[in-house]
Homo-oligomer: A and B are copies of this chain.
């Protein structure tokens, strides 16, 4: 059935009936279904919004709608993680082509709600309207029980860390757009595509860094490592040196590009890993967080005076970060 035939209100009514009950959350005074949700938000609340648009950020053919719903949640949860917070309440604004299949929209919501529930987040409101292409805009509220970590607290001589591995999502995107050929059945290809299609927000690591007050500054890697490191450095008024040989590369990445081609690890977008700075003294406790969370955390460089800029140390010498470029939504038209 097409959404045009079912209609907006019947679809939303069906959806509302499927929403999990959140009766036990004392912060929710009024949930979905009124002009506004009403919340009681003790402590500090962090707030972000991010959008995904068909033909720009994804193609509907690339993955089941369930996975698209999971990603729409994860990219916002990653921003909350980058503050050291935990997601709590979501708003979902959807623009939907009139010939969309109701089953696809159901699957999208299932994926979104699945990802939300895993992080104990309640969908608290939203809207739906017609649109020429599928557009998904999510706003996410989180809470920071241990205080929040901004981009601006880094100091010269702090060390720079990143979670997980870098460049996989950019490689996965290139396989999906067929810029790169790969055996669809191989483990490497499946891993790289999965990293683009369904990133993991590093909420546990972010929260633990906040709880132990270890990170001096933090950001999530969405535009590419060097671009986001540049944002952190600009906000903190420092420079940075990245040691290329230390960059965490997945087996899939090394299968495709080898262990000496760092271009995508440095500048590819949509990793949704956490990039943070910490004093040298924090090393053992950061290792301990990595061990307990099961998420790799790798030291990739250190901070220097702002005048020295951001550079990458490669086997053949240092290069300025500006020689690598991150993703610019307006400079590149993708996919």
Contact = CB atoms under 8 A, between A and B. Distances in A.
Interface in A91-106: 91-93, 95-96, 98
A132 B36 CA distance: 29
B130 A56 contact: yes
B330 A53 contact: no
Copy tally for this chain in the complex stands at: 2
A152 B56 CA distance: 41
B132 A133 contact: yes
A182 interface: no
Contacts of A287: none
Interface of A: 3-4, 6-9, 29-30, 33-41, 43-51, 53, 55-57, 79-80, 82-83, 85, 89, 91-93, 95-96, 98, 124-133, 135, 137, 139, 141-142, 144, 148, 150-152, 218-220, 235, 328-331, 333
Given A93-B50, A98-B333, A330-B7, A83 B129 contact: no
24 contacts: A7-B328, A8-B328, A8-B329, A29-B148, A30-B148, A34-B150, A35-B48, A35-B79, A35-B80, A36-B82, A36-B142, A37-B47, A37-B48, A38-B47, A47-B89, A47-B91, A47-B141, A53-B130, A53-B132, A56-B130, A57-B129, A91-B139, A96-B330, A98-B333
Contacts of A56: 95, 129-132
A45 B36 CA distance: 9
Contacts of A29: 44, 148
A132 B132 contact: yes
Nearest to A78: B35
A47 B39 CA distance: 8
A326 to B, nearest CB: 9
A335 B324 CA distance: 44
Nearest to A151: B34
